[in-house]
A and B are shown apart, each in its own frame.
Chain A
Amino acid sequence: MSIEFKIPEAIEKQLQPVRSVAENVMRPESRQLDDNEHARPVKFVHMMWPQMQQMELANLEAALTRAQKSSNGDESQKNGPDNKPRSDRASIANLSLVYMIEMLSWGDAGVYLCIPSSALGGAAINAVGTPEQLERFLRRFTEGEPKWGAMAMTEPQAGSDTSNIQTTATFDPQTNEWILNGQKIFCTSGKLALEESKGLVVVWATVDKQAGRAGMKPFVVEAGTPGALIGKVEEKLGIRASDTAQIILDNCRIPAENLLGNAEVKTGPSSQGFKGAMRTFDATRPIVAASAIGIGRAAFEYTRDLLAKQGIRMDYDKPRWKLTTVQADLLEMEAQLHAAWLLTLKATALLDAKQENQLESSMCKVKAGKAVTWVTQKAVELLGPLGYSTELLAEKWLRDAKINDIYEGTGQINTLIVARTILGYSRTELK
């Protein structure tokens, strides 16, 4: 091994068509889709669907192989920092994804979120699903019309404090069904998943309120299930093309086999279910960071190029005191973005290498959320009255960027994770 900073050729090749979609499909509709909240980026969805089906198929096949092996009790194939399978060659799957999402978000972050895929719901199923569950729930994303998957965790009284969710799952032994009751909010693509396609939502509910985190389990709710209704669809500061839905679960009955993982409530250090859910963040936080950075890059490049047309050019070789404040700001914007990007690449490379990356994924999320919020704010400022007007996209990028410092763990929650990790503190030692 040696230190290397080089984009793999395969990824560079993959990025060319993605860049073209971002430029030619996403950007031209950016303003219009922002103005008409809840309108769908139909062209983008249909353009991406064939490619997403292929990715879903590859993911499904890999998951099936893994699930079959583990149900055969073949422990040697289990992945983990300590027993990495020997056959496992260096993967670039996550790196490739992160690059793709950065580019799509450079195109339009709201539209990117409408990408037809199993998304976070798929990740949860993929992580613990049995071969039967993988078939039943994920095969649909490889065929037919575009579909969406979603994850419903947040509730009105439980945002960052996910262990406080109140939605209940009660088992009915008569019918062999789980009955879900409660209310979920802020579910990304919830409406697309449950109402506008034959998709699904992974709903987190508690089977035992007394058990706290250990009682929390993920359940798959398929589109068309009676008792699962879309309530309000939120109107937001940004990413307006993406639907953010309330889901009302009113005696929603689902088959027993829709529970992901084990029904058993284990307390103490062995409560792996909830921890497992938290571990999926190790993979998703770098993705959010990458999305942020894509928006930040859009804002930076646009600002830089427009200023250059006015004769204000970057000069990297001048001492700081010879730069105008505008040049100094541009330099700082670029440096901030790059710092965040390198942290993201490292978190992702560790993930691909199946090494521990919880600290790194939180670090890149904190940095990217903060940096890009600042970079997009600065872009609006540097572009003056036009920057603030809706004639340009800068103000939209500012609004879009902000979500990245909030979802998949706010900047503060992720800072807390970094702090606990470096200090070696538990949840009770550092609140």
Chain B
Amino acid sequence: MYSFDMNSEQKMLVETVHRFAEQKMRPFYREAEESRAIPAALVQTGWELGLLPGSIEATYGGFGEYSALTSALYLEEMGWGDVGISLHLLTPNLFAIPIALFGTKQQKETYLTLFCEEEFPKATAAIIEPVIQFDPAELATTAEKVGDNYVLNGSKTFVPLAKTAEWLLVYARENGLTQAFIVPNATPGLDIGESVTMMGVHALTSYQVNLDNVTVPKENRLGGLKGIRLNRLLTVSRIGLAALAVGQARAAYEYALQYAKERVAFGEPIAQRQSIAFMLANMRIEIEATRLMVWEAAYKLDNQEDATKAAVLTKQYADKMVLEVTDGAVQILGGHGYIREHPVELWLRNGRGFATWDGLVMA
């Protein structure tokens, strides 16, 4: 059947995350953006929501099972709160989710338990590379098997929270395929460089990372001999990013709608003009359409159907949609939209990012 109602557990989770977004993220997003930092207390509160352990099986210390659909539902709320803070809070997922999906029994036992404790885990992943033409399926970073070890070489960028991370999951090209390798922070040759500044999401501190003959034992290859299926991880990432984009767009739409009803020009609220009202109507339509695409792709993934195509179409659609909606919000606020007193300029900067973030969310 086609049904569009969340189950009661999902409803509760969405309410909880929405409350967090409203009460903890929203009052703080501007300060986080300007100061390029998030207070430890906010990170801790976010961690205590238990979103990641909720995706990890009880065998490894978690209390749930992985569902792309449930993740998509809470990601929309997080994106609505603040994308920068969300990316910070979701950083440990970049390490844990690929392990949950592809790790050997040994790897799951060793690492997943680290993500079911009280403290915000210090782990991240390095996938994006500092090139114009980035293709996760054809990485420039290489992995070479030498004896019982793998040797990694290359450079990465947009590696969230790398400076403090104890564990990194590094994606590299091995025999023409993309594989992932678990690299402890202290490994010789691993150089965490300067922090990288992006156009938006300043609340997330990310770094350039260089790998110069970084050597790890062969047991650190994710998935052991079987390795990973990059395609599946990208599908997870695309659905997650698209869900976050829906949340970001919704925030901008709601703000612009409220503003348009209050802002008076020529003697009446600007929302009473079709040129403004129609923009808002189209925003609403596109947000709803994208949300349904996200849900369907996630549903397919959860039900072992091939979700590759659905995820690609969804992500492409969401990239375009979130940019149009956030740009439209700035436009509706006019000159005021351009001023940093209002959030819409920040949301436009965030909106532009989604098309460039393949692999930057795993949930």
Please give the residue numbers on chain A whose beta carbons come within 8 Å of chain B beta carbons, in ascending order: 1-8, 90, 92, 95, 316-322, 331-332, 334-335, 338-340, 342-343, 345-346, 348-350, 363, 366-367, 415-416, 418-420, 422-423, 425, 429-431
Contacts and interface: CB of A to CB of B under 8 A. Distances in A.
A320 B316 contact: yes
A426 B135 CA distance: 50
Contacts of B290: 339
A367 B290 CA distance: 12
A3 B4 CA distance: 5
Given A317-B231, A321-B133, A425-B272, A331 B316 contact: yes
B158 to A, nearest CB: 15
Given A320-B316, A331-B313, A366 B5 contact: no
B13 to A, nearest CB: 13
A316 B293 contact: no
A2 B7 contact: yes
Interface in B1-27: 1-7, 10
B312 interface: yes
Given A339-B317, A418-B281, A430-B274, A317 B292 contact: no
Given A2-B7, A5-B300, A342-B289, A317 B137 contact: yes
A430 B276 CA distance: 11
A262 B3 CA distance: 37
B274 A419 contact: yes
B313 A4 contact: no
Given A1-B5, A6-B1, A430 B272 contact: yes
B337 to A, nearest CB: 19
A4 B2 contact: yes
A5 B296 contact: yes
A322 B285 CA distance: 30
Contacts of A318: 135, 137
A187 to B, nearest CB: 29
Contacts of B10: 2-3
What are the 7 tightest A-B residue pairs by CB atom distance, in nearest-first order?
A342-B292, A419-B277, A339-B289, A1-B5, A418-B281, A419-B281, A2-B7
Given A3-B6, A419-B277, A319 B358 contact: yes
A320 B316 CA distance: 9
Given A5-B300, A319-B134, A349 B257 contact: no
Interface in B245-287: 257, 260-261, 271-272, 274, 277-278, 280-282, 284-286
Given A2-B7, A317-B231, A338 B295 contact: no
B316 A343 contact: no
Interface centre among A317, A320, A348, A366 (most CB of B within 10 A): A317
B6 A430 contact: no
Given A339-B289, A423-B280, 5 more contacts: A1-B3, A3-B10, A339-B317, A416-B277, A429-B272
Interface string B234-250: 10000000000000000
A315 to B, nearest CB: 10
A349 B295 CA distance: 15
Contacts of B317: 335, 339
A92 B1 CA distance: 9
B299 interface: yes
Contacts of B312: 316-317, 331
A316 B308 CA distance: 8
A317 B2 CA distance: 27
Interface in B85-132: none
B5 to A, nearest CB: 4
A78 B306 CA distance: 43
Nearest to B271: A423
B3 A367 contact: no
Given A3-B69, A321-B133, A335 B1 contact: no
A342 B293 contact: yes
A363 B134 contact: no
A345 B286 CA distance: 15
Contact of A343 (B133, B257, B285): B285
B135 A342 contact: no
Which of the listed residues B2, B137, B231, B293 has the most CB atoms from chain A within 10 Å of its own CB? B2
Contacts of B166: none
Contact of A4 (B3, B281, B285, B293): B3
A296 to B, nearest CB: 14
Contacts of A345: 2
A415 B106 CA distance: 56
Contacts of A423: 257, 260-261, 271, 277, 280
Contacts of A430: 271-272, 274, 277
A423 B257 CA distance: 7
B4 A422 contact: no
A2 B10 CA distance: 9
A95 B277 contact: no
A316 B316 CA distance: 11
A318 B135 CA distance: 8
24 contacts: A1-B5, A2-B5, A3-B3, A5-B2, A7-B2, A90-B1, A317-B234, A317-B312, A319-B133, A319-B136, A320-B355, A342-B289, A343-B289, A343-B292, A345-B2, A346-B4, A349-B4, A416-B277, A416-B278, A418-B285, A419-B278, A423-B257, A423-B261, A425-B271
